[in-house]
Amino acid sequence: MRIFLLRLTGSVMLAMCLAAPASAVEVRDIRLWAGPDSTRVVFDLSGSVRHRLSTLRSPARIVLDMPGARTRPGGFAAPAAAGAVKQVRLAQQAGGNLRIVIDLAHPVRANSFLTAPNDRYGYRLVVDLAGAAALPHAPAAGPSVPVKVEHAPPEARDLIIAIDAGHGGDDPGAIGISGTREKDVVFAIAKELAQRVNGETGMRAILTRTGDYFVPLRERMQRARAQQADLFVSIHADSIVDRRVDGSSVYILSQRGASDEAARWLAERENASDLIGGVSLDDKDDVLASVLLDLSQSAALSASETAAEQVLRELNQVGEVRKHQVQQARFMVLKSPDIPSMLVETAYISNPQEELRLRTQAQQFKLAAAIHQGLRAYFYANPPAGTRIAQLAALASAPRTMLATATASDSAR
């Protein structure tokens, strides 16, 4: 068996003269997007292909076998090392199998899927590598050391707002007629919103992506959960064939989407260590688990709706609101069963005037300010117990006479 192994690093050109059937599917390009916690490798293909993925250790690597595939004659520039990927090697094997080895900087959880052509790309095989560099260095389980638990009174905590800029990396989102990419404008709005939230006493923002890379949808939810977010807001810009349509809309999860997700949580609860609203489901019987989940989802949905209404009200002051009611849809990122979540379609990027406005910092700031004001109004009216906002809200709603007395006695000292 003859195996050709080619090492690809940096801008080294790949050139292979290999015998493969003329009808073989070609790998035409390899693209890499690296984020802090995950790396996406995209193989551009000339057609649909079967593949098998295996994860190997010592050294950590991913092996992809594509029977009947080959690389494009003349080759292509290999991607530079990035994120979890050290290098990509390709080998044309006897029998027409193309073997691709992705050498890893650290162990990862790998997930692969084939995507159908769209208006920009043909068939693509996408390999997502999740796991940050620190993952393999977790200390091995040793003798247990007793942990001292202090029972100090709990400090009032900051509210956590998870801000999710839609799309990113190889997924540009919608594209306007002047070439504006949704992923860029929504990221600008998300960053501005984060800054405003962080400027607020008692609130802290986390971004589900902090640069131009793709984060899988479920992973976005998981990042918010891992940080115990009090609210999740996803920022998008809509697109529609009719270019006259403009304005913003706000979505929450539909009842149908909530039911689908409940079924999934119940089916997987033995394997899941996640707590729903602070309780574990895996030790509950079926009926109790589904009741607890249903209670948590209903509370989260109702909170989502109230918060979304506030945001919609503020957006109404900025400009055209497309739909004056909060909309419901089965968006994946809204499916956390215990975190109030909303998705804001800030504008129609398909509308040429809105597209041009969306590109300006002034409009991005206006939209961020409106979302911030909406969230602020919601949390001051409905502060979670134990937060600084709860203390501040109580102070703000104290009867005027009490405030006046306090002020007078303070200045008398």
Bridge partners (DSSP) of residue 33 are 40
- In whole angstroms, how close is the CB of 255 to Zn ion at the nearest point? 22
SS3 annotation, the chain: CCCCCEEECCCCECCCCCCCCCCCEEEEEEEEEECCCEEEEEEEECCCCCCEEEEECCCCEEEEEEECEEECCCCCECCCCECCEEEEEEEECHHHEEEEEEEECCCCEEEEEEECCCCCCCCEEEEEEECCCCHHHCCCCCCCCCCCCCCCCCCCECEEEEEEECCECCECCCECCCCCEHHHHHHHHHHHHHHHHHCCCCEEEEECCCCCCCCCHHHHHHHHHHCCCCEEEEEEEECCCCCCCCCEEEEEECHHHHHHHHHHHHHCCCCCCCEECCEECCCCCHHHHHHHHHHHHHHHHHHHHHHHHHHHHHHHHHCCECCCCCEEECCHHHCCCCCCEEEEEEEECCCHHHHHHHHCHHHHHHHHHHHHHHHHHHHHHCCCCCEHHHHHHHHHCCCHHHHHHHHHHHHHC
- In whole angstroms, how close is the CB of 161 to Zn ion at the nearest point? 19
Separation of first and last alpha carbons in the chain: 92
- In whole angstroms, how close is the CB of 146 to Zn ion at the nearest point? 49
- In whole angstroms, how close is the CB of 360 to Zn ion at the nearest point? 19
Binding mask of the shown chain, residues 116 to 155, with x at each position contacting Zn ion by CB under 5 A: ----------------------------------------
- In whole angstroms, how close is the CB of 166 to Zn ion at the nearest point? 4
Nearer to Zn ion by C-beta: 272 or 332? 332
Nearer to Zn ion by C-beta: 182 or 200? 182
Nearer to Zn ion by C-beta: 181 or 236? 236
Could you tell me which stretch among 138-146, 162-170, 275-283, 374-382 binds Zn ion (CB under 5 A)?
A: 162-170
- In whole angstroms, how close is the CB of 235 to Zn ion at the nearest point? 9
CA distance 107 to 132: 9
Window 227-286: residues binding Zn ion (CB under 5 A) = 236
234 phi/psi in degrees, rounded to 5: -105, 135
Could you tell me which stretch among 7-15, 21-29, 160-168, 227-235 binds Zn ion (CB under 5 A)?
A: 160-168
Nearer to Zn ion by C-beta: 69 or 349? 349
Binding mask of the shown chain, residues 304 to 323, with x at each position contacting Zn ion by CB under 5 A: --------------------
CA distance 221 to 108: 19
Nearer to Zn ion by C-beta: 173 or 374? 173
Could you tell me which stretch among 161-169, 279-287, 301-309, 324-332 binds Zn ion (CB under 5 A)?
A: 161-169
Taking CB atoms, the residue at the shortest distance from Zn ion is 236
Nearer to Zn ion by C-beta: 300 or 333? 333
Rg of the Cα atoms in the chain: 25
Could you tell me which stretch among 88-96, 158-166, 270-278, 312-320 binds Zn ion (CB under 5 A)?
A: 158-166
CA distance 317 to 161: 22
- In whole angstroms, how close is the CB of 354 to Zn ion at the nearest point? 14
Could you tell me which stretch among 167-175, 287-295, 305-313, 375-383 binds Zn ion (CB under 5 A)?
A: 167-175
Binding mask of the shown chain, residues 57 to 86, with x at each position contacting Zn ion by CB under 5 A: ------------------------------
Binding mask of the shown chain, residues 1 to 30, with x at each position contacting Zn ion by CB under 5 A: ------------------------------
Nearer to Zn ion by C-beta: 166 or 168? 166
CA distance 118 to 172: 12
Which residue from 79, 83, 168, 173 is in contact with Zn ion, where contact means CB under 5 A? Answer: 173
Tokens for 395?
Answer: 């102070």
CA distance 355 to 308: 24
- Residue 166 touches Zn ion, criterion: CB under 5 A: yes
- In whole angstroms, how close is the CB of 173 to Zn ion at the nearest point? 4
Window 178-237: residues binding Zn ion (CB under 5 A) = 236
- In whole angstroms, how close is the CB of 282 to Zn ion at the nearest point? 34
- In whole angstroms, how close is the CB of 254 to Zn ion at the nearest point? 17
Number of residues counted as binding Zn ion (CB under 5 A) = 3
Query: Which residues are at the interface with Zn ion (CB under 5 A)?
Result: 166, 173, 236
